[in-house]
């Protein structure tokens, strides 16, 4: 028996559990950090800003505690479309429901968007705030970091500062310890083997969308979303997934499909392999591309497509 099975026992006295928001402006590496912290590639990642559109829960269970990481979308300034406003609501709602917030920034950079995120976190009275300075491996001149952090802490006091590289999994042990000691003493919420509260259906849609973000040029990925029409386990043990890629115009549909269907085939192949790795079984994936003009401004469609 372990501590999580006997939370009322003496062994569980120091066991801690709580929700932790990974917050920050778009493209600072929050999703990469989540994946590194839980040891599973759960949250989709691309080099494009605003890849994350939904709240993703990642669960890390250790002998001393269970950390429930909430990967939040980056907040969009001047959000004009209904989808962007929905994403901002998701990001703001997430930070009202946590025990601790970790604001993630890029080494050597503090922008107006970073300041807006700090202001949003500060609206939550008595919420502990840690600062995770990410991508420190890319900072060539280390001497500028000390005055940068000193000035930052004077203007925006955090409880503690941690230097990390999410991509290279550096500095994560110290960050985890700093998080754990600030979480409430209480039993685990989830089982030891659980890594998220999201369904495989949701994750399948995200993995297809990841390939759209990675493979399509310029603004096109932002005009797409993915809907899973069917997800079932066949008697032969293969997960059969039918997904629709929604775009806003016929010209976009042609680009997603590509010459002779080559682009759509590449998207499907990569997404299927990612699903098989995450779901730990064979996947049969079938993709369609359909046009729905103005889907990103239709509140009913956004709800149908899973936007909170």
Do the annotations mark residue 134 as ligand-binding? yes
Two structure tokens written together for 33: 């950090």
The answer on whether 7 is annotated among ligand-binding residues is no
Task: Report whether 85 contacts 7 (CB < 8 A).
Answer: no
SS3 content of the chain, % helix, strand, coil (to 5): 40, 20, 40
Are residues 235 and 242 in contact, defined by beta-carbon separation less than 8 angstroms?
no
DSSP 73-127: PPPPTT--SHHHHHHHHHHHHHTTS-SEEEEEEETT---HHHHHHHHHHHTSTT-
31 is in an annotated binding site: yes
**Residue 89, annotated ligand binder?**
no
Q: Which helix (H) or strand (E) holds 285?
A: strand 283-291
Distance CA 199, CA 206 (A): 11
73 is in an annotated binding site: yes
In sequence order, the β-bridge partners of residue 130 are: 102, 160
**Is 72 assigned a ligand-binding role in the annotation?**
yes
Distances (CA, A) of 159 to 33, 128, 177, 179: 19, 7, 14, 11
- Residue 56 belongs to what H/E stretch? strand 56-62
- Ligand-binding annotation for 24, yes or no, is yes
Place of tokens 């280390």: 142
Residue 74 marked ligand-binding: yes
The torsion angles phi and psi of 19, rounded to 5 degrees, stand at -95, 135
Give the residue ranges of the annotated binding site for GTP.
24-31, 71-75, 134-137
- Which residues line the annotated binding site? 24-31, 71-75, 134-137
């Amino acid at each position: 028996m372990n501590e999580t099975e006997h939370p009322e026992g003496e062994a569980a006295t120091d066991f801690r559990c709580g929700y932790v928001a990974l917050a920050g402006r778009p493209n600072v590496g929050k999703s990469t950090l989540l994946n590194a912290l839980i040891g599973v590639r759960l949250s989709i990642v691309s080099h494009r800003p605003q890849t994350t559109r939904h709240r993703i829960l990642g669960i890390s269970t250790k002998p001393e505690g269970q950390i429930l990481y909430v990967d939040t979308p980056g907040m969009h300034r001047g959000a004009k479309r209904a989808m962007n406003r929905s994403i901002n609501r998701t990001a703001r709602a997430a930070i009202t429901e946590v025990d601790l917030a970790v604001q993630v920034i890029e080494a050597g950079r503090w922008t107006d968007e970073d300041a807006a995120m700090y202001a949003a976190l500060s609206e939550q009275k008595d919420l502990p705030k840690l600062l995770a300075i990410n991508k420190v491996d890319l900072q060539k001149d280390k001497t500028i970091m000390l005055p940068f952090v000193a000035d930052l802490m004077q203007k925006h006091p955090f409880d503690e500062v941690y230097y990390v590289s999410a991509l290279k999994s550096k500095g994560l042990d110290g960050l985890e310890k700093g998080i754990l000691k600030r979480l409430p003493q209480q039993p685990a919420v989830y089982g030891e083997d659980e890594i998220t509260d999201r369904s495989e259906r949701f994750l399948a849609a995200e993995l297809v969308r990841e390939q759209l973000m990675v493979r399509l040029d310029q603004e096109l990925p932002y005009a797409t979303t993915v809907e899973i029409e069917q997800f079932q386990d066949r008697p032969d043990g293969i997960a059969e997934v039918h997904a629709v890629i929604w775009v806003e115009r016929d010209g976009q549909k042609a680009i997603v499909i590509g010459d002779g269907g080559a682009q759509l085939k590449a998207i499907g192949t990569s997404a299927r392999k990612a699903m098989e790795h995450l779901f730990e079984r064979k996947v049969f994936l079938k993709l369609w591309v359909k046009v729905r003009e103005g889907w990103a401004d239709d509140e009913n469609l956004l709800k149908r497509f899973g936007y909170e």
